[in-house]
Amino acid sequence: MKKINILALFLLLSTGLLSQKKDVKITTIKLTDNIYMLKGQGGNIGISIGTDGVFMIDDQYAPLTPKILAAIKTLTDKPVKFLINTHWHGDHTGGNLNMDKQGAIIVAQDNVRKRMSVAQFVRGKKKEASPKGALPIITFTENMHFYFNDEAIYIFHVHHAHTDGDAMVYFPKANVLHMGDVYFQGKYPYIDLGSGGSINGMIKAVETALMLVDDNTKIIPGHRNNSNKKELLQYYNMLKDIRNSVKGEIDKGKTLAEVKQNKTLTSKYDAAYGTWFIKPAVFRETVYMSLTGEK
């Protein structure tokens, strides 16, 4: 079997191009009396249960739908009424067609439907257009509210962050925030420049989240473990610090190759943040390309 680098592997996973072969277990984490986080393979799922039904955020990959629905059945016998996609990547939308067949109404920011409706290329890998049933049937430009399960759920668009169609979902009564892939808990994030993402947009999006949360907020990141304001603030400071360091090198006329090779720009964060999919050199490269517009 030919070797594949770890970034290419993540890109295959995030666009749904890698088949699901290993035995995935769906783990249910209780955050409040009626809100849960589900972990499996792909983006973290958020679930609100109540008398109105199930309000679901993201759905991972198509082969996992039966396991995900089985996990939900252990919490409630109510159906999934609404499914929110936080962005277009396949590890967050791969189950859409299955959920449509289950009767769920799929909702997302305008750019999610636009990108899912046509073929996309991510670092040279082609993702075919999604079938009609997988597309969001309700879209919004900036924000919207759902009044569901005794919550005024606030869904809002953050611009050019992980992609150009990111949305975060806030439950003010329960004090729970789902951030999608704007937040990779404890690790360097993947910023999809080809889908309109940017380092400055990521920083601004996290700033918006920090204005909403307090010390008691339960935060669901796009990947890894449930989190809190303290960890999010550390992540925010890391993003700003590395952005500013790379910008300083750009202002000195340094090339992409020089910045990518300059380990000192990220060295104080690498042990903590640089051990997952996105390695330090890749993150330095991404920040440089985002700031300069270089592809």
Q: What is the per-residue pLDDT across 79-95, written as a single tens digit (0 to 9) for each?
A: 999 999 999 999 999 99
- The reported pLDDT for the residue numbered 6 is 43
In the chain the first and final C-alpha atoms are separated, in Å, by 30
Q: For residue 62, is pLDDT > 80? A: yes
CA–CA separation, 73 vs 190, rounded Å?
A: 32
- How remote is the C-alpha of 173 from its chain's centroid? 23
In this prediction, residue 125 has a pLDDT band, given cuts at 50, 70 and 90, of confident
CA–CA separation, 69 vs 26, rounded Å?
A: 10
Place of tokens 């079938």: 131
CB-hemisphere CA count at 13 Å for 273? 26
Q: Nearest-CA neighbor of 109 among 89, 124, 133, 129?
A: 89
According to DSSP, the residues that pair with 223 across neighbouring strands are 184
**What is the phi/psi pair of residue 22, to 5°?**
-85, 160
Q: How confident is the prediction for the chain on average, in pLDDT?
A: 92
Query: Which regions of 105-257 does DSSP assign to beta strands (E)?
Result: 105-109, 120-122, 125-127, 138-140, 143-148, 151-157, 167-171, 176-184, 218-223
Q: Nearest-CA neighbor of 59 among 71, 49, 46?
A: 46
Mean pLDDT for 120-145 is 89
- The whole-model pTM stands at 0.91
Least-confidence region, from 106-120, 123-137, 204-218, 253-267: 123-137
- The reported pLDDT for the residue numbered 22 is 65
Least-confidence region, from 125-134, 145-154, 208-217: 125-134
Share of the chain above pLDDT 70, in %: 91
Q: For residue 107, is pLDDT > 80? A: yes
CA–CA separation, 114 vs 64, rounded Å?
A: 25
CA–CA separation, 156 vs 211, rounded Å?
A: 13
Q: For residue 56, is pLDDT > 70? A: yes
- The reported pLDDT for the residue numbered 123 is 63
CA–CA separation, 109 vs 182, rounded Å?
A: 14
CA–CA separation, 183 vs 164, rounded Å?
A: 15
CATH classification of 6-228 is 3.40.50.10860, yes or no?
no
150 sits in the region (left: phi over 0; alpha: psi -120 to 50; else beta) called left
